[in-house]
Structure 1
Amino acid sequence: MKQLFDYLPVVVFFGLYFLSGRDIMLATWGIIGATTFQVLAGRLIWKRWHRLHLVVLAITLVFGGLTLLLRDDVFIKWRPSIISFVLAAVLLVGHFLRERNLLQRLCERLMVSGFGFVVGLEKRDWSRLNLAFVLYFLGLGLLNLFIAYNFSTDFWVNFKLFGFTAIQMVFYVAAFLYFYKRMPEADRDRLFHQDKKAPEPTKKDDEDDAVRDHQ
């Protein structure tokens, strides 16, 4: 549910843009409203402020507000690039500040909740993946600006919807294949060739083991 919730502002933006006959100003109002709703609803549902949602809201309010105030859609076109640059910067800074980079800690948390255990990758593999994501977000931000300044608004919206989705799918598939190739054979067997007759440990035990082994 949360993953779908993260895409709410984008869905509202594209929906309003196409349903309104390509009215970028109405779509901008929509993404501002949807991002604000996302932050407030997330606080009510999960009982905490999601930091990434707050950052995205701030960026949306600034660049969306400039678009509406100055009637210039170039500012809302900057929004995806600024978000991408912020993500690249956070991952890059985290790459040097901690023993386990931000991507590793995030993935391990997801693995605990999804698999019940943490796949043990070498530190250099996590470093390579982290830097790959840094370059990915940086490249995505630069490509967005190139499209925004060299093509029409309609082309930018369509490329953002279809082109960037395709790029995202290719990158994440490539990242998963690298992850799969570099994981230990025992973890690969554990993920994809589990013995159906073997008793499964409780979720709590798995989480405790994963946290204890990776503190």
Structure 2
Amino acid sequence: MHVISLAIIMVLGSATLFFHNPWFIKWKPTGIYWLSAIIFLSSSFIGSKPLIQKMMEGNVNLTSKIWHRLNAAWAVFFILMGALNLYVAYHYDTDAWVNFKLFGGVGFTLLFVLIQAFYLTKHMDEKELEKQQ
């Protein structure tokens, strides 16, 4: 994923400099978000475990159903963030887009992670109760 992100950054960053057009760099976050969404979605169908489970399995004990929901939630989050990036890029000036990219992206991600933490806490307790019975 890091290599693909680097390739996207290099290609679109170079195109921005070469053509003197900021739109290439404004599309970069959307490309990375949507690529991440595709990877998360495809991991549910390719392989034995969703990507989010492979990433967090050692720290969190959840049912397969919850892992798949969590994986889908991340995919939807990345799709929405990509769409929101395009909306801000096309409807606001570059300064507003930069502020959104720096602060809005981080803010929305933190909010999503907090919501996810509350969701996980609820389902981690259920899994522990199932083990005890």
Counterpart secondary structure, 2:44: helix
Farther off after superposition, 78-87 or 95-104: 95-104
Equivalences, count: 129
5 Å-filtered alignment, 1:45-84, equals 52-84=1-33
Match of 1:124 in 2: 65
Does 2:79 match 1:138?
A: yes
Counterpart secondary structure, 1:183: helix
Determine which structure has greater relative contact order: mean sequence separation of CA pairs < 8 Å that are 6+ residues apart, divided by chain length.
2
Which amino acid counterpart does residue 166 of structure 1 have in structure 2? Answer: G
Percent pairwise identity: 38
C-alpha deviation, 1:176, in angstroms: 1.0
Answer yes or no: is the 8 Å Cα contact 1:121–1:184 preserved in 2: no
Match of 2:92 in 1: 151
C-alpha deviation, 1:187, in angstroms: 4.8
Gaps of 5+ in 2: none
C-alpha deviation, 1:185, in angstroms: 5.6
**After TM superposition, which residue ranges in structure 1, 4 or more long, deviate above 3 angstroms?**
184-188
Farther off after superposition, 162-171 or 65-74: 162-171
Gaps of 5+ in 1: 1-51, 112-118, 189-215
The two structures have a TM-score, normalised by structure 1, of 0.57
Pairwise CA RMSD of aligned residues?
1.6
Answer yes or no: is the 8 Å Cα contact 1:84–1:137 preserved in 2: yes
Larger Rg: 1 or 2?
1
Counterpart secondary structure, 1:55: helix
The two structures have a TM-score, normalised by structure 2, of 0.91
Return the alpha-carbon distance in structure 1 between the equivalents of residues 64 and 101 of structure 2. 34
C-alpha deviation, 1:85, in angstroms: 0.6
C-alpha deviation, 1:154, in angstroms: 0.3
Counterpart secondary structure, 2:57: helix
Return the alpha-carbon distance in structure 2 between the equivalents of residues 95 and 186 of structure 1. 21
Return the alpha-carbon distance in structure 2 between the equivalents of residues 140 and 186 of structure 1. 31
Return the alpha-carbon distance in structure 2 between the equivalents of residues 128 and 134 of structure 1. 10
Match of 1:182 in 2: 123
Return the alpha-carbon distance in structure 2 between the equivalents of residues 155 and 61 of structure 1. 23
